[in-house]
């Protein structure tokens, strides 16, 4: 599975950005998809995830109500809509794919064997 992330950029506090991740490869639309982020000097952390058929989503507590993850199975892509952005959202954002089944932990980094290249989001105050 190959993943291509896009949509990062510079935005002011309270603004919005929309990240996209295009997946390609064999049966890529059968994978759960996730977004992670890594700020300078910090560990990569889970942000959001969506199940393979889109019926289940999970979010980092600090982004609940502000970020929305969705997927378009026809286009084999996942979107992260980010609203009410804060300076602490500044990071490189990565999309990831993995076979994660109901009841498993979607926030574990090691659940995702496939990763995109990352896109930088900078929120200025």
Instruction: Work out the pLDDT band at 78, boundaries 50, 70, 90.
Output: very high
Cα gap 4→26, rounded to integer Å: 15
Q: Give residues with Cβ within 8 angstroms of 53, minimum separation 6.
A: 73
- The band of 102, judged by pLDDT with boundaries at 50, 70 and 90, is confident
The model's pLDDT over 12-40, given as tens digits with 9 standing for 90+, comes to 999 999 999 999 988 878 899 999 999 99
């Amino acid at each position: 599975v190959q993943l291509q992330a896009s949509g990062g950029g510079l935005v002011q506090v309270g603004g919005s950005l929309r990240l996209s991740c295009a997946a390609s490869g064999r049966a890529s639309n059968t994978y759960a998809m996730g977004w992670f982020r890594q700020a300078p000097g910090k560990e990569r952390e889970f942000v959001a995830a969506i199940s393979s058929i889109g019926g289940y989503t999970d979010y980092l507590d600090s982004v609940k109500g502000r970020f929305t993850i969705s997927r378009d199975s026809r286009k084999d892509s996942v979107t992260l809509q980010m609203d009410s952005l804060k300076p602490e959202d500044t990071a490189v954002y990565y999309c990831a794919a993995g076979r994660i089944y109901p009841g498993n932990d979607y926030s574990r980094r090691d659940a995702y064997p496939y990763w995109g290249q990352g896109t930088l989001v900078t929120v200025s105050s």
